[in-house]
Amino acid sequence: MFIFLSITVFFILSSKPKQQEQDFSKLHSNPDHRRKVIWIMADSLMSQAIDQGIKSGDLPAFSFLISHGHYQKEVISSFPTMSVTVDSTLITGAHPDRHHIPGLIWFDNQEQRIVNYGTGLNEILRDGLTQAAEDMVQNLNHKHLNQEIQTIFEALEERGIRTGSINGLIYRGSNDHKLAFPSWVAKPLSLPDQVNVKAPDFFALGMFANPLQGKVSLPDGLTKEFGFKDAYSVEATKYLIKNDLLPDFLFVYLPDLDKPLHKKGPGPQEKKAVQKLDREIAELLDSFGSWNEAIQHVTWVVCGDGGQTSIVPSNQNPVVQLDQLLNNYQVLKPGQQPSEKTEVALAVNERSAFVYALKQEISLNKLADQLKKDDRVDILAWKNENGWIQVFNAEKNTEMQFRPGQEFEDSYHQKWDMKGDLKALDLTVKADKKQISYGDYPDALIRLWTSFHSHSGRYLIITARPGYELADVHSPTHKGGAGHGSLHQIDSVAPMIITGTDQRPAHWRLVDMKPWILSLFDSPTTESKR
């Protein structure tokens, strides 16, 4: 019996889906010797870890790229600061009101259900594993992501520029590809063996789209999280470099740093993880023969997607249980659809949440009044009947309203009308010029406004103060670790290193990166630049 089980387990772990052949011929270097771009997105990379590592001499690859390029410590992310929303903003060059991915979890008013792209196994199991798989595999890129807006891959491919994505969450391109699932994955999740997708010229997504199968061994088994690890992305990128198959623009996603931060928070575990990341970047540079050669021919961008805020340990009551704060309402239960009695639905994105009023008679103001009694709450915001965004700062007990207008202008040339106490969003205004400056909540006005126009429904947005996180009944929590998702500066900024070009984006926000990338391919080819 033991031998039979061992053979069965071995078969399951070793069986892999048959992969679609990808045409690599068009990836070979173009005759115009166009300068290529490698964009490395390291999940949860933060500037303080880079600074400390460079100071101690532990990050030679980071040090090299910074000394030969530009290091921007605070690039503003999207809101909520969750990977699918952030990556959608980067890849489309648009805020959530245009790309339509509101968060990692949200309530679809049209289908009357929770959409969950993968918050945590416990919550997914209760929301419905089959539905979560469908949302992640089929709906995220090809239904929910706005079809009317071009991704960076589609825009470049339209110009005849070759693109690639390795483990990117948002990958929609112009080329026909297939995701392939082994039967032991497909059957329990009610997925077909193959799913047709549109993706970049070169497309790798863990075990499910491994175009290098039979060419190089990539770590993509069950014990390697199906290939959704740094090692897979690094090995695939190295193969492309060494075999002169690098597309003109390659997006590489490195997820490993996220987990130790969530578990232990900033500190020794983060230090080790960033040192590992440095070694991985060094491997990519080595693949060119020398590091100088690497920056002679390629523009390198290394960035994070947002920060993580330390969460206090369990003995300090770190988790704000929204379901308990609203226990006088009929709150939608996980895995169920609303009934006639359901009044409220919750979609918790770690340190922020959407709180949906499912009945017209439910007052958003009253929901806010009930939630603000908890001293761990930071910001409460909702759209009032006049179309203004109402903001209440629970810690400062201050309130303001805003909407797009003409009276005030911020540093990103966005114009607003505002009234009330601007301390609610830590804003200051130069009276003579009516120029808005942001404080603890970077670019807060557009980030909140577009979140309220990212999907339909009546809802308020709540965020937790630094040190705390929000939860529904089965939400994952990170007591004594770290979390993200809020509007606060700590969650909202990430570092970016650019080496190989003197061109800079219009503003240091992820939403401004797509036009900058496009501009890099409008420029004549140049030699190495600092």
**Tell me: the pLDDT tens digits for 42-56?**
999 999 999 999 999
Give the rounded percent of residues in the chain with a pLDDT score beyond 90.
Answer: 85
Rounded Cα gap, residues 310 and 321, in angstroms: 18
What confidence category does residue 6 fall into, taking pLDDT thresholds of 50, 70 and 90? Answer: very low
Whether residue 29 has pLDDT greater than 80:
no
Q: Is the dihedral of CA 90, 92, 96, 100 positive or negative?
A: negative
- For the chain, what percent of residues have pLDDT higher than 70? 92
Backbone phi, then psi, for 110, in 5-degree steps? -70, -45
**Could you tell me if 423 and 499 lie in one domain?**
no
Residue 7 pLDDT > 80, yes or no? no
Identity of the residue numbered 404: P
Give mean pLDDT, residues 34-41: 95
CA distance 306 to 44: 6
120 vs 321, which has greater pLDDT?
A: 321
Domain carrying residue 503? 36-94+150-309+489-520
Q: Which of 66-70, 285-289, 526-530 has the lowest mean pLDDT?
A: 526-530
Q: How many CB atoms lie within 10 A of CB 110?
A: 8
Check pLDDT > 90 for residue 426: yes
> Does residue 139 carry a pLDDT above 60?
yes
Same domain, 247 and 300: yes
Q: Are 404 and 412 in contact (CB under 8 A)?
A: no
- Rg of the chain's alpha carbons, rounded to an integer? 23
Report which DSSP code applies to 224.
G
Mean pLDDT, rounded, of the chain: 93
- Report pLDDT for 14: 46
Residue 108 lies in a domain: no
Residue 22's pLDDT band (cuts 50, 70, 90): low
Residues 268 and 173 placed together within one structural domain of the fold: yes
Q: Give yes or no: residues 329 and 355 share one domain.
A: yes
Tally of domains within the chain: 2
**189 located within any domain:** yes
Contact 149, 98 (CB under 8 A): yes
3-state secondary structure of 337: coil
Q: Is residue 384 located within the same domain as residue 466?
A: yes
Report yes or no on 132 lying in a domain.
no
Residue of 311, 303, 229, 302 whose CA lies nearest to 265: 311
Q: Where are the alpha helices (DSSP H) in 328-441?
A: 364-371
Q: Evaluate whether residue 383 is within a structural domain.
A: yes
* pLDDT for residue 350: 98
Distance, in Å, from the CA atom of 280 to the CA atom of 282, rounded to the nearest integer, reads 5
Angle between helices 268-286 and 230-242 (to 10 degrees): 20
What gap in Å lies between CA 298 and CA 38, rounded to an integer? 7
Confidence of residue 511 (pLDDT cuts 50, 70, 90): very high
Which pLDDT value is given to residue 448?
A: 99
Same domain, 257 and 292: yes
On whether both 48 and 195 belong to a single domain, the answer is yes
State whether 348 and 417 are in the same domain.
yes
Contact 166, 109 (CB under 8 A): no
348 has which bridge partners? 353
- 445 falls in which pLDDT band (50, 70, 90)? very high
| 3-state class (DSSP) for residue 382 | strand
8 part of a folded domain? no
Q: Within 13 Å, how many C-alpha atoms sit on residue 142's CB side?
A: 17
Dihedral angle of Cα 24, 232, 89, 109, to the nearest 10 degrees: 110
Please determine, for residue 529, whether its predicted confidence score (pLDDT) is greater than 70.
Answer: no
Phi and psi at residue 289, to the nearest 5°: 105, -40
Whole-prediction pTM: 0.93
Least reliable range by pLDDT among 335-339, 400-404, 491-495: 335-339
Residues 433 and 348 in one domain: yes
Residue 162: pLDDT band with limits 50, 70, 90 = very high
Pairing state between β 435-437 and 428-430: antiparallel
Angle formed at CA 168 by CA 167 and CA 173, multiple of 5 degrees: 115
Provide the total of helices (H) and of strands (E) in the chain, helices listed first.
18, 24
pLDDT of residue 12: 42
Closest CA to 64 of 295, 275, 242: 295
